[in-house]
Amino acid sequence: MKYNLLFSILLFILIGGCKDPNPSQTDIDLSNITYEPQSYPLEIGNPLFPFLEQPQDNLLTVDGVDLGRHLFYDPILSDDLSMSCSSCHLPSGSFTDNLALSTGIDGIQGKRSSMSLLNIGFNYRGLFWDGRVATLEEQALLPVEDPIELHALWPEVILRLQDSELYREKFRKAFGISNSSEITKELAAKAMAQFERTLISATGSKFDRSLLGLDAFSPEELLGYEMFFDYYQGTNPEIPDAQCFHCHDQPLFTSNDFENNGLDFANDFEDFADLGFGGTSGIKGDNGKFRIPTLRNIEYTAPYMHDGRFETLEEVIEHYASGGHYSPTKSPFLDSIDLNEQQKLALKAFLLTLSDEDFMQNPEFSDPF
Ligand code: HEC
Ligand code: HEC
């Protein structure tokens, strides 16, 4: 009895403690479960929006999106079953975690702020603050093994998925696999990418409704709109050009390009604490540049910037009014703007017209468990 207990403890330590990178796979026939792929009825509903490109080998299907949604919310993807993608990308934060810097399962804090996944499918120019990953399919493979995120091992996670009746059925329905051993990390990533492509905000905000003629800006919002889009281009001294649209243009409110908006002073090209896009491209002139984030739902994604340095939109607007700090890669569009209190409030009022609560409360995007 004693020895049995000791043995069990040893076995527990062996199985739990050391991670076998190649655990054996399961072998369960799934061909009796019906596989009838149906394309996902994606409705963008806003004629100003670009086309949503999808990889030919991963077109959206109803069951693919459903599987991706389950994986996205399931702590089964983390080593100690404590966190999921949604721990850092919460619907209530427009798919951010509302923290300056994200913290993974081991309590280790990263150096960057979580990013909103709103309209993420329209980004074809590189994901992450520094653009280091090209596609959602590639990206979705990374958090699972990242030591500051879910810190698990894919082979172990795959074994858990293969052992789960729920997931065996969902993988069969999404991808037509005929045996549980065909569940792979690549298929899991494809499904998560499909779910992420459905996270679209295109019609629910006051901004969209006003453009579609279903609502109207208040005079304050209109003033903010005119400043944001340089409506008068220097011809009206009452309404200054805030130059925002150069980088945050409609309809996405980001060009998805990489720019330096003057957050930090730097004497020379090497003087940045975080190289940002320069670390990806290897070009000095890109040092200190970061992905231009969308401003849709900006009301709900505080704190702001890649390191969450600003708590409020007022602080962000003060930053832009000041023109930011000198560095050799700072954008020429960052220049001090002479804004009075009323104009600052108007700019903020306009930013709040980009809020889309329906997006955050959309039952299709919520936790399915
Ligand atoms: C511990 C918190 C955390 C977890 C867990 C997490 N993320 Fe993230 N996510 C982040 C942070 C922080 C960034 C920005 C990192 C950077 O730029 O270096 C990010 C960025 C992203 C991006 C890029 C967005 C863009 O606009 O470029 C995608 C997509 C994404 N995460 C999806 C996922 C998926 C899918 C999962 C689960 C498999 C996941 N994340 C799990 C914190 C997290
Ligand atoms: C030269 C391009 C550029 C211009 C012009 C610009 N921005 Fe930005 N904006 C950026 C970049 C790049 C970031 C992210 C910077 C970072 O985190 O390092 C950003 C971030 C932001 C954020 C924080 C977003 C988040 O999710 O953290 C807000 C809010 C914002 N900008 C609003 C504005 C407003 C309002 C204006 C006009 C007054 C403006 N921007 C003008 C490039 C620009």
Q: Which residues make Cβ contacts (< 8 Å) with residue 212, sequence separation at least 6?
A: 46, 203
Instruction: Supply the pLDDT for residue 4.
Output: 53
pLDDT band at 145 (very low <50, low <70, confident <90, very high): very high
For residue 347, the ligand closest to its alpha carbon is 2
Whose C-alpha lies nearest to ligand 1, atom 11?
Answer: 114
pLDDT for 341 beyond 60: yes
pLDDT band at 271 (very low <50, low <70, confident <90, very high): very high
Mean model confidence pLDDT for the chain? 93
Task: Give me the torsion for CA of 218, 204, 246, 310, rounded to 10°.
Answer: 80
**CB of 115 shorter than 6 A to ligand 1:** yes
Tally of CA atoms within 13 A in the half-sphere of 289 that contains its CB: 25
Specify the ligand 2 atom closest to the Cα of 332. 1
Q: Could you tell me which of 21, 37, 20, 29 has the C-alpha nearest to residue 181?
A: 29
pLDDT band at 18 (very low <50, low <70, confident <90, very high): very low
| pLDDT mean over 291-297 | 98
Instruction: Supply the pLDDT for residue 26.
Output: 83
Task: Please name the residue that has the structure tokens 């798919």.
Answer: 95
**CB of 83 shorter than 6 A to ligand 1:** yes
Phi-psi region of 84 (alpha: psi -120 to 50; beta: other; left: phi over 0): beta
- How much distance in Å is there from the Cα of 301 to the middle of ligand 1? 14
| pLDDT mean over 271-293 | 97
For residue 306, the ligand closest to its alpha carbon is 2
Residues with CB under 6 A from ligand 2: 242-244, 246-248, 259, 261, 263, 290, 292-293, 295, 298, 301, 304-306, 316, 320, 331, 333-334, 347
Diameter of the chain measured on Cα atoms: 90
pLDDT for 20 beyond 90: no
Phi-psi region of 336 (alpha: psi -120 to 50; beta: other; left: phi over 0): beta
Tokens of 36: 């009838």
**CB of 261 shorter than 6 A to ligand 1:** no
pLDDT for 361 beyond 50: yes
Tokens of 306: 């890649």
Alpha-carbon gap, residue 340 to 343, rounded angstroms: 5
What digits encode the pLDDT tens for the residues 61-107? 999 999 999 999 999 999 999 999 999 999 999 999 999 999 998 89
Percent of the chain topping pLDDT 90: 91
For residue 193, the ligand closest to its alpha carbon is 1
Whose C-alpha lies nearest to ligand 1, atom 35?
Answer: 140
> Residue 102 carries which side chain, given as an amino acid letter?
S
- How much distance in Å is there from the Cα of 281 to the middle of ligand 2? 21
**CB of 279 shorter than 6 A to ligand 1:** no
What digits encode the pLDDT tens for the residues 66-76? 999 999 999 99
Q: How far is CA 77 from CA 61, 181, 192, 198, 202, in A?
A: 22, 18, 12, 21, 30
What digits encode the pLDDT tens for the residues 207-255? 999 998 999 999 999 999 999 999 999 899 899 999 999 999 999 999 9
Whose C-alpha lies nearest to ligand 2, atom 2?
Answer: 247
pLDDT for 19 beyond 80: no
Instruction: Supply the pLDDT for residue 105.
Output: 86
Cis upstream peptide for 251 (omega within 30°): yes
pLDDT band at 13 (very low <50, low <70, confident <90, very high): very low
Chain-centre distance of CA 183, in angstroms?
A: 25
